[in-house]
Chain A
C-alpha cells in the first residue's frame, strides 16, 4: 500500500454534498478533502474539508448561475490556492457533478492544472438526470468532451442509473441524500481500488489503459459483507448497489474492473469463490480485470468494488491525420455556448499519435475486428507495460 497523500477535490454544489458525506464516512482518515465553489452557502458546514471560495473578489459568494464560462473564470482565479493544495500529492481524485456552472467550467481548469503538474488524477463526474433537460445535458456533454482531452481517467456516471434501483415511492429528499451517499461510497471505493497495490493487482495504469481516449460511461458498485457466509453476501450486496444498474447492465458491460479487499484472514478459497461468482455474472463479451488486496484493518470484512465500463463506440485506434489541438489551447469565451459533443472529437486527441504505431502495416488495409485495429500491437492496446531494462 502506498503512503502518499491522496486529495479528493470536489468542485461545485453537487460535489460538495458528496464530499460532505465522504468526510463523514468511516475509514476515510487516510484521505484529504478539499472543496471549491463560488457559492458561499455551500461552503459552510463542511467539517474536515479544506474549503476554497472561488473568485471571491468578484463572484461575491454568488453561484455561477449555470454558466460554465463563469465557473471556469472563478476557479481559474483561485489557481494558486489549488496549486498549493495539490502540491506533493500522490493522487488527486476530482469529483464534479457536470451540467451546471462551477463544476462544468471549473473542472477544465483543474484538469489542465493536474496535467501541467504531472499528477495522477482521477476524474469522477456525474451526468445530469434526464429530467433536468437538454440544456444541462448539452453543457455536461460538452464539458465531458473537453475534460477527456486533458485527462486520461474520466469515470462518467449517469445519474439516471439511480432510478433503476430506487423505489419510485421514495421521498425525493431521501432519494437525493441516498444519491450523495452512493456517490461518496463510490469515490471511496475507487480511491481504495487505486490505493492498494494488491496481490492480484488492478492499478492506476490498468484503469488508464481502459479509459484513455475512449468515450465511455461507467457505473460502479460496492458490496460489503462479513461473517461466515461473506463470499456469497458480498456479491448479493454488490447487486444492491444503486449506481450499478443491475445484473443485466453489468453483464452487458464492455469492461469490468473489480477489486476485492479483505482482511489478513481472507482465505484463498473465499477469494476464489467470490471472484469466480462475480465472473459468472459477466457476459461473454465482457473483459474483466480482477484484483485482490489485503488490508489488515479490514478484519473479517470483505469489500468488493467494481467499475463497469460501457464504451459508447468501439473506436478504431488509428492515427489521426489532422494536427491535434494543443492541450493548453485557451478555451475561454467558447464555454458560454453549449456545444454538442461530436463523435470525431474523441479521437482527435493530442496523445493518440504517441500511443499508436502500426510498423510495417502502416500502408495496408487495417485488420479491424470488433472496432479494434488489430495491426496496433496487442500489448499497446491492452496497456501491457514491457520490461525493457537491459
Chain B
C-alpha cells in the first residue's frame, strides 16, 4: 500500500559517526510503524556533533534520503531534525504572577501569564531556544505542583527548562536539511529530548529516569520526571574519544582503534581480562600485535567513569540525583559497549538498562538497537506534535504540560528567522 506523503514522518539525525534517517507511519494508537531506515557513515566530516563539511554532508544526506524514498516507495513527508553539539546549553527560568481573583483560585489565565513571564527569559546573545519544557509550578513560591488549576494561592510561579543553542550552528543544520529536502524541516529537537520520546518512557512510572545517549561525538543526557524533562545537558565526549584513547594508549591507527572498540571493548575491567589477549593486525607487513584485554578495558573504563562523573556532578549541582529512582536508561552507539549498564549502575548506584526504541512495529530486527532511539524518537515527537496541532480541543493544561505546541512555534521561528 502506498501511503500519502502527508502520512509519513521522517526523523533525521546528523550524528558524528553516521547520518541516520528513519521514516515511519503513525498507526494512530501512539505506536509507529517503521517503513524505512538507512544510514550513511560520515566519520571525520562531523566532529563532536558539529558539521565540518556542509557540502559533503548535504550530498550524503540527499543520498540517504533518496535511498530511503526508493526503498519505501513513499515520500519523506514531514521531517524532524535532531540537534546536538557543544553549543547546546540549558537554563531554568521562572515567571511569577500574583493571584488576583477574590477567591484566590488559580485560573487558566494565571497559568498562561506565569508561563508567559517565564518565557520572557532573555537567552544569551546569538542563542536560540530549541526546546522548552515545563518543569513544575510553584505555589506561593515553595510548593511544587504539576497541576495548579483551581488551587488556592497568593502567588503562582512557572518554572521552565529552556534548551538553547548557538543560532548559527542550529541554522547551519536547518539550512542543510532544507537544501537536501527542498522544504524546511517541520521541527527540530534536542537529541536528548528525542531520546526521551524514542524510549517510550510514558509507559513507565514516572519517578525519574536519567536518559544518557552516548553517541560518537556527544553524550546527551536528560532527566525525565513526571512526564517531562526536568534537566538536560551534553558533554562532547563519546565513542570517538574512546577510540582516540585506545589509539593513543595502544599506539594504533585510529581505524584499528575503532574496530578494536567495537570488537573487544568492555566498559568494565573483568577478572579474566588480565590473562586474555587480543591480536591486532596493524599493517600487512608487520606481525600482529597482542594486547591484554585488561589494558583495553582500563582505557575504556577510566574514560567512561570520567564521563559519568561529569554528568553526576552536573546533576548534583542541579539537585537532580534524588529524582533518579527509576534508574538510568542508556542509548546511542555507546550503549552497545558490553557491561556499560553494569558500570553505570555501580557508579550511580541505581538500576541501569540499555534502552531500545519503544512503541514501534515493522523491520524489528533492524531497528531494535539503542543506536536508533534518536531518529525513532523524532517520529514519536513529530506524531505528538501533529496530534496537538490537529485537535484544538486539548485542555489548556495539557498543552502547557507537554509544551509541544510552543516547542513547535519556537522551532519554526528558528527555521524562518
Contact = CB atoms under 8 A, between A and B. Distances in A.
Contact of B47 (A364, A379, A386, A388): A364
A118 interface: no
A386 B298 contact: yes
B296 to A, nearest CB: 9
Given A364-B48, A367-B86, A379-B298, A387 B292 contact: yes
A249 interface: no
Interface string B264-300: 0000000000000000000000000111101100110
A48 interface: no
Given A360-B44, A375-B241, A390-B291, 6 more contacts: A361-B241, A361-B244, A365-B86, A367-B86, A367-B236, A379-B303
A89 interface: no
- Top 4 A-B pairs ranked by shortest CB distance? A377-B245, A359-B244, A367-B236, A378-B302
Majority secondary structure, B binding face: helix
Interface residues of A, number: 24
Contact of B289 (A374, A380, A390): A390
A389 B299 CA distance: 15
Contacts of B291: 388, 390
B240 to A, nearest CB: 7
A265 B277 CA distance: 39
Interface in A338-379: 357-361, 364-365, 367, 369, 374-375, 377-379
B183 interface: no
B258 to A, nearest CB: 10
B73 interface: no
Contacts of B302: 378-379, 382, 384
A326 B289 CA distance: 36
A273 interface: no
Contacts of A28: none
B310 interface: yes
A367 B235 contact: yes
A193 B181 CA distance: 65
Contacts of A386: 249-250, 295, 298-299
Contact of B235 (A369, A375, A382): A369
Interface residues of B, number: 31
A360 B295 contact: no
Contacts of B247: 359-360
B306 interface: yes
Majority secondary structure, A binding face: loop
A272 interface: no
A211 to B, nearest CB: 19
Nearest to A356: B248
A377 B299 contact: yes
A50 interface: no
A359 B254 CA distance: 8
Scoring B44, B48, B244 by chain A CB atoms within 10 A of each residue's CB, the highest score goes to B244
7 contacts: A285-B313, A359-B244, A361-B241, A364-B47, A375-B244, A379-B298, A389-B292
Contacts of A285: 313
A386 B291 CA distance: 10
Nearest to A361: B244
Nearest to B305: A378
Interface string B82-106: 0000100000000000000000000
B245 A284 contact: no
Interface string B309-326: 010010010000000000
A150 B47 CA distance: 37
B244 A387 contact: no
Interface string A304-333: 000000000000000000000000000000
